[in-house]
């Protein structure tokens, strides 16, 4: 190890600490056994379930979305001014992407360019050229190019050779050998560039023929957004509340930004079951419903506009089915969810995204 210590913190209600711990084990293997031999950079990656990072650690924080990051006080750097990576796991789930691939992506890029200021200059004319962001996962970032470590999907990453044009035949450009030449962008990949002649700021270059999607845009607080933000405008984190596993669910459902009432309607079929929702006004204990077959119950909590996640957990001793309908205060249905996986006394859970306008 070269002295870099990275603390992983889970601030997202949709993931258990056990799930994050398993992912961190895979990430440590990737850094030590795969990334370090290629890049010469190693680190100690440790999960802290209590949400408290020791002094001197870089941080990788698992969050719902960029709005929650700001609400909790996670900004551009840690409170000590050290590198900070963010994984918007709720957004990944909402778009059907793998949060562990994103976690791997953010971790490796933070190691490769911790200050988000490194570039490669390609002088394509006598009077100017293009700066390329020194990001080691963007070119091959799509989930289809990921690989598994102990059952956990992690991101492919490029080698330093990807950024240079003088390579010999049979040069390896990425860990999984998907890329065949320098500066190649795989489908779903991209790279940030700055045309020094045009002076138009940082732009995104995508793979040829790539259809643009809204999800490709840089989120507030992401590495891409911070790269184009002047360093004098970077803000240290001032975390106003650490979310323990007990109160994380409550904070996630409300986000405490522009709250508005949301009504949850819950109905159980074919057995007995239970489900818990939380609201900041309820404290850490939340509100739980136990229902018999065919019973319907409703109650209201407060939530913030934007993409939200409902995490439904319960048990159906008789192998029952649970149906959940989420409506706003005017009765408009935001999302519905059915789960048939409840069997015996095994507690299951499922996650459904919806957007609150």
Residues above pLDDT 90, as percent of the chain: 45
Tokens 């050779």, located at residue:
161
- Dihedral over alpha carbons 241, 244, 249, 255 (to 10 degrees): 10
Structural domain of 159: 5-233
Q: With helix as H, strand as E and coil as C, how does the chain read?
A: CCCCEEEEEECCCCCCHHHHHHHHHHHHHHHHHHHHHHHCCCCEEEECCCCCCCCCCEEEEEECCHHHHHHHCCCCECCCCCCEEEEEHHHHHHCCCCHHHHHHHHHHHHHHCCCCCCEEEEEEECCEEEEEECCCCHHHCCHHHCEEECCEEECCCECHHHHCCCCCCCCCCECCCCCCCCCCCCCCCEEEEEECCCCCCCEEEECCCCCCCHHHCCCCCCHHHHHCCCHHHCCECCCCCCCCCCCHHHHHHHCCCCCEEEEEEEEEECCCEEEEECCHHHCCCCEEEEECCCCEEEEEEEECCEEEEEEEEECCCCCCEEEEEEEECCCCEEEEEEECCCCCCCCEEEEEEEEEC
If you average pLDDT over residues 167-179, what whole number do you get? 94
Domain boundary among 233, 263, 298: 233
67 beta partners: none
Q: Are 208 and 269 in the same domain?
A: no
Q: Are 14 and 55 in contact (CB under 8 A)?
A: no
Q: Are 212 and 206 in contact (CB under 8 A)?
A: yes
Q: Would you say residue 242 lies in a domain?
A: no
Q: Are 210 and 158 in the same domain?
A: yes
Q: pLDDT per residue over 307-347, tens digit each?
A: 665 555 555 555 556 666 766 656 677 777 665 555 444 44
Q: Are 96 and 228 in the same domain?
A: yes
Q: Would you say residue 116 lies in a domain?
A: yes
Q: Are 223 and 293 in the same domain?
A: no
- Identify the weakest region by mean pLDDT among 18-32, 199-213, 216-230, 279-293: 279-293
If you average pLDDT over residues 267-291, what whole number do you get? 52
**How many domains, in total, are found in the chain?**
2
Q: Are 165 and 269 in the same domain?
A: no
Determine the Cα angle at 43 with ends 142 and 20, to 5°.
55
Q: Are 228 and 281 in the same domain?
A: no
Q: Would you say residue 30 lies in a domain?
A: yes
Q: Are 46 and 70 in the same domain?
A: yes
Most confident of 7-11, 63-67, 70-74, 306-310: 7-11
Determine the pLDDT at residue 287.
Answer: 53
Q: How far apart are alpha carbons 339 and 101 in whole angstroms? A: 26
Confidence band, pLDDT 50/70/90 cuts, at residue 283: very low
Q: Are 255 and 142 in the same domain?
A: no
If you average pLDDT over residues 251-273, what whole number do you get? 55
Determine the pLDDT at residue 257.
Answer: 42
If you average pLDDT over residues 95-124, what whole number do you get? 94
- CA nearest to 323, candidates 261, 280, 273: 273
Determine the Cα angle at 240 with ends 217 and 62, to 5°.
45
- CA nearest to 347, candidates 324, 317, 327: 317
Domain boundary among 233, 262, 277: 233
Q: Are 278 and 314 in the same domain?
A: yes
Side-by-side strand order, sheet with 44-47: 44-47, 5-10, 58-63, 84-88
Domain boundary among 233, 259, 280: 233
Per the confidence metrics, is the pTM higher than 0.75?
no
Q: Are 48 and 9 in contact (CB under 8 A)?
A: yes
Q: Are 49 and 106 in the same domain?
A: yes
Q: Would you say residue 313 lies in a domain?
A: yes
206 beta partners: 190
Q: Are 213 and 258 in the same domain?
A: no
């Amino acid at each position: 190890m070269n002295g870099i210590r990275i603390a992983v913190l889970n601030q997202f209600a949709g993931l258990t600490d056990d799930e994050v711990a398993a992912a961190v084990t895979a990430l440590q293997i990737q850094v030590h056994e795969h990334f370090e031999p290629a890049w010469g950079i190693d680190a100690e990656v440790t999960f802290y379930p209590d949400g408290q990072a020791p002094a001197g650690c870089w941080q990788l924080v698992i969050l719902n979305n960029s709005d929650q990051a700001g609400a909790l006080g996670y900004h551009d750097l840690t409170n000590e001014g050290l590198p900070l990576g963010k994984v918007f796991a709720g957004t990944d789930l909402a778009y059907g992407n793998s949060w562990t691939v994103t976690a791997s992506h953010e971790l490796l890029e933070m190691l490769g360019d911790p200050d988000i200021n490194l570039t490669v200059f390609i002088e394509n004319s006598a009077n100017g050229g293009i700066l390329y962001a020194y990001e080691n996962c963007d070119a091959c970032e799509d989930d289809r190019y990921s690989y598994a470590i102990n059952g956990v999907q992690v991101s492919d990453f490029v080698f330093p050779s990807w950024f240079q044009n003088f390579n010999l035949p049979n040069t390896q450009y990425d860990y999984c050998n998907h890329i065949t030449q320098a500066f190649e962008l795989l489908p779903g990949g991209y790279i940030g560039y700055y045309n020094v002649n045009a002076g138009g700021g940082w732009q995104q270059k995508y793979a040829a023929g790539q259809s643009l999607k809204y999800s490709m845009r840089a989120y507030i607080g992401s590495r891409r957004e911070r790269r184009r933000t002047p360093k004098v405008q970077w803000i240290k984190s001032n975390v106003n509340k650490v979310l323990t596993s007990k109160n994380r669910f409550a904070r996630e459902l409300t986000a405490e930004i522009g709250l508005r009432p949301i009504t949850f309607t819950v109905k159980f079929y074919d057995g007995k079951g239970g489900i818990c929702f939380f609201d900041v006004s309820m404290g850490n204990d939340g509100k739980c419903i136990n229902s018999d077959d065919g019973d319907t119950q409703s109650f209201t909590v407060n939530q913030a506009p934007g993409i939200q996640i409902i995490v439904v957990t319960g048990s159906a001793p008789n192998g029952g089915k649970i149906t959940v309908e989420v409506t706003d205060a005017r009765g408009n249905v935001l999302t519905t969810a059915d789960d048939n996986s409840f069997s015996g006394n095994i507690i299951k859970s499922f996650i459904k995204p919806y957007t609150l306008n």
